[in-house]
Amino acid sequence: MATKKTAASTRKTTKKPASSAKKTTTKVTTVKASAAPARVSKTTRFTLSRAPLLAGSVAEFLGTFMLAAVVVITSGQPLFIMFALLAILLVVGGVSGGHFNPAITIGALATRRITLARAAAYIGAQVLGGLLALVVLNGFISAAPEVSQQAQAFGQAAPSLFSPQAITKGKEWVVLAAELLGAVLFTFGVATAMRKKSEVTRAITVAGSLYVALFIASTAASYVGTSAVLNPAVATALQIFKQFELWPVMVYAITPLVGGVLGFALSDLLKDESEN
């Protein structure tokens, strides 16, 4: 009899830990199930910081809009454009890298600094930013009151948007060479600035490079009666392509892109030589 009692008591004691294990397992399972919905609610929120390509494209759109508006308002004066670009780079340049110019984007793509998808998004945003500057400024010009005949007799003219003079026939290659030289100098400075660690130093280098390049190119182009732009997106705001003639497209759209590739390639070449 004693043996049976001890066996029965042994069975009772072995069953108790099993019940406690079940309880702990149930508690752990309920904690995991309650924590899962909290994670799902956090991921449903959308912010631009979680979409870097979209955020960069918006920054390129806004930056190009402001830059193109300044170029039109100041009639392409290099000094004003330099200070405007410096401010724009410090405001939104850190989001996208501060291209605001298809020539820079193509040069960065050719030297594998950015991907094809980012380059396509940036160029689309830049062109739209330049077109928006044209539409907005044209709307303000259209809202201006008409100039009376008496005021016109005293030399007062109706306000109009700035646009470079048409290229003189027979001098197309001179303007093309000026645009190419300016684009190479500018993008060379931009590619060099990308290796700077400080954001302020990069902005100053890019703005200063634009001033030097635009001053040289515009002075060279002024000898034949026109001016340089060095930016295909800004050229859309200047109404250069309104008739889609061959030479304006060659000079102000294709030539800066070629200069961008050459400028970035030259910067990489000098960097490799200095490292060797």
Burial class (CB in 10 A: 0-12, 13-18, 19+), 67: buried
Is there a contact between 194 and 112 (Cβ–Cβ < 8 Å)? Answer: no
Give me the pLDDT at residue 159, please.
78
Give me the pLDDT at residue 142, please.
86
How many angstroms separate the first and last alpha carbons of the chain? 96
Return the structure tokens found at 127. 């062109």
DSSP assignment letter at 164: P
Return the structure tokens found at 17. 């830990």
> In a structure prediction context, what are the per-residue pLDDT tens digits for the chain, which is 276 residues long?
444 444 444 444 444 444 444 444 445 444 444 444 555 445 556 666 677 899 999 999 999 999 999 999 999 999 999 999 999 999 999 999 999 999 999 999 999 999 999 999 999 999 999 999 999 999 998 888 777 777 666 667 777 888 888 898 999 999 999 999 999 999 999 999 999 989 999 999 999 999 999 999 999 999 999 999 999 999 999 999 887 789 999 999 999 999 999 999 999 999 866 666
pTM of the model: 0.79
Is there a contact between 216 and 205 (Cβ–Cβ < 8 Å)? Answer: no
Give me the pLDDT at residue 185, please.
97
3-state secondary structure string across 18-71:
HHHHHHHHHHHHHHHHHHHHHHHHHHCCCCHHHCHHHHHHHHHHHHHHHHHHHH
Is there a contact between 61 and 136 (Cβ–Cβ < 8 Å)? Answer: no
Q: What size, in residues, is the chain?
A: 276
Return the structure tokens found at 210. 């634009």
Give CA–CA dist 22/33, Å, rounded: 17
Give me the pLDDT at residue 160, please.
83
Q: What is the DSSP string of 245-256?
A: -HHHHIIIIIHH
Give me the pLDDT at residue 146, please.
79
Return the closest-CA partner of residue 93 out of 190, 212, 229, 189. Answer: 190
Give me the pLDDT at residue 95, please.
92
Burial class (CB in 10 A: 0-12, 13-18, 19+), 140: exposed
Domains and CATH numbers, the chain: 52-142+157-275 (1.20.1080.10)
Give CA–CA dist 241/224, Å, rounded: 20
Give me the pLDDT at residue 275, please.
67
Contacts of residue 137, Cβ cutoff 8 Å, sequence gap at least 6: 69, 72, 73, 161, 237
Burial class (CB in 10 A: 0-12, 13-18, 19+), 24: exposed
